Copies of this chain bind each other. A is one copy, B any other.
Amino acid sequence: MFKLLQIDQKSHARRGELTTNHGVIQTPIFMPVGTQGTVKAMAPAELREVGAQIILGNTYHLFVRPGMEVIKRFGGLHRFMNWDGPILTDSGGFQVFSLAKLRKITEDGVHFQNHLDGAPCFLGPREAMEIQATLGSDIAMLFDECPPFPCEYEQAKESLERTLRWAIRCREVETPGLKFGIVQGSSYEDLRRHSAESLVAMGFDGYAVGGVSVGEPESEMFRAVEMSVPFLPHEKPRYAMGLGTPPQLVEMVARGIDLFDCVLPTRLARNGTAYTTQGTINLKNATFTFDQCPIEEGCTCVACQGFSRGYLRHLVKSEEILGLRLITQHNLHFYLNLMAQIRQSIEEERFPEFRKAFVERYKKSPETEESGN
């Protein structure tokens, strides 16, 4: 299912190929986030256009609305949203802990009130996997508890042990696609190792590093990955959940990560923020009023091929939908093009040079709009 094509000699960067029920994915890859059965503001054809190979769907959101009766009737998420490429679904755990109200955690799962109408709901390992099976997910994530940052050792340990017990139950539920385990353990080396080794012993199709991008400093984020990756098998894909900025992605690839997802490119776009190789720019800024250049010179995305910063600024200021559409398209193109460049640089054995040049250039940016996920 995962074919490791090449490993960088001077880092842990990997070039791979992941086969799923809905197609083959070239890694490293970034997965645009389609929370509610749509990548915000984008049509499926546009996702293809920007180079998306796989998108993410959120179990929690789709479970709450439209609900599984609807998804069942439509024969799964792919048909419902008219996307025939691969879909990875999260387990809903993260959202239950961040969005839902009045949670009560038991050994069987989590009782909560959903964020829409407060209706009482329940999600446990079995339910989460069954929902992902109904969605027809190509990569289903195990139901886990994602502790906040910072987290006391005892709490992190207790949470991790429960997550590992849940992993056994998740494993039993049949799903149509691949199943990825999630390494937790907060910022504790022994817990991260224990988590990774336990999951690997159970045997999954891939492994994610969870509990990152939850408000920790960047150094802790890197540490979490560095503490987990050494205990994951080479021959399985690795996914760092919910991150990050473009340089963070490059750095994570260097640490051996293959898959990424993040709301930054789509969320920041809706605020008028666009990515460039020198950092982000906010198109609401008055300096762009008369600017006839595209967001980034040389960019081949639809937005940069036809529209100026000045026009985009006008659209954003006027709250016109086309503005956030075009910036979203540019930002996703930027992220996916970055991954394509990373893949090519690994193939051509010049990833270390690419990494250095990209990160240095990006850091020169006068603006630091990113806020993590």
Which residues of A come within 8 Å of B, CB atoms?
36-38, 40-44, 65-66, 69-70, 73-74, 80-82, 289-290, 292, 302, 306-308, 310-311, 313-315, 317-318, 320-326
Check if A306 sits within 8 Å of B82, measured CB to CB. yes
Nearest 4 pairs between A and B by C-beta?
A41-B321, A66-B314, A82-B306, A38-B322
By a CB distance below 8 angstroms, the chain B residues around A302 are 43
Q: Are A38 and B73 in contact (CB under 8 A)?
A: no
**Assembly of this chain: how many copies?**
2
CB within 8 Å for A322 and B65 given contacts A73-B292, A311-B82 = no
Taken together as a complex, chains A and B put the C-alpha atoms of A65 and B319 apart, in Å, by 12
CB distance from A289 to the nearest CB of B (A): 6
Complex contacts, A307 vs chain B, CB 8 Å? 82
Are the CB atoms of B290 and A70 closer together than 8 Å?
yes
A66 contacts across to B, CB distance below 8 A: 289, 310, 313-314, 317
Check B36 against A308 for contact (C-beta < 8 Å).
no
| Inter-chain contact A73/B290, CB cutoff 8 Å | yes
In the assembled complex, how far is the CB of residue A301 from the closest CB belonging to chain B, in whole angstroms? 12
Beta-carbon contact of B322 and A74 below 8 Å: no
Nearest Cβ in chain B — how far from A146, in angstroms? 24
**How far is B66's CA from A289's CA once the two chains are assembled, in angstroms?**
8
List the B residue with the shortest CB-CB distance to A329.
Answer: B43
Contacts of A44 in B (CB 8 A): 306
A323 to B308, CA, bound (A): 26
Instruction: Pick the residue among B38, B42, B313, B318 that contacts A36 (CB under 8 A).
Output: B318
Query: Whole-angstrom distance between the alpha carbons of A314 and B66 in the complex?
Result: 6
Show 12 residue pairs from A and B whose CB-CB distance is below 8 angstroms, ordered by the A residue.
A36-B320, A37-B314, A37-B320, A38-B320, A38-B322, A42-B322, A69-B290, A80-B308, A80-B314, A81-B311, A82-B306, A321-B324
Given known A-B contacts A292-B73, A292-B74, A321-B325, A314 and B65 have beta carbons under 8 A apart:
yes
Give chain B residues whose Cβ lies under 8 Å from the Cβ of A70: 289-290, 310, 314
Is the pair B308, A74 in contact by a Cβ cutoff of 8 Å? yes
| Residues of chain B with a CB closer than 8 A to A74's CB | 292, 308, 310-311
Say whether B292 contacts A37, CB under 8 Å. no
A29 to B109, CA, bound (A): 60
Q: Which of A323, A324, A325: most chain B CB closer than 10 A?
A: A325
A37 touches B311 (CB 8 A): yes
Chain B residues with CB under 8 Å of A290's CB are 69-70, 73
User: Nearest chain B CB to A223's CB is how many angstroms away?
Assistant: 37
B65 pairs with A318, CB closer than 8 A: yes
Establish whether residues B289 and A43, one from each chain, have CB atoms under 8 Å apart when the complex forms: no
Q: How far is the CA of A65 from the CA of B302 in the complex (A)?
A: 24
Q: Name the residue of chain B whose CB is nearest to the CB of A315.
A: B38
Q: Within the assembled complex, what's the spacing in Å between the Cα atoms of A322 and B40?
A: 7
Q: State the CA gap A43–B49 with chains docked (Å).
A: 15
Q: Which residues of B contact A41 (CB under 8 A)?
A: 321-322, 325
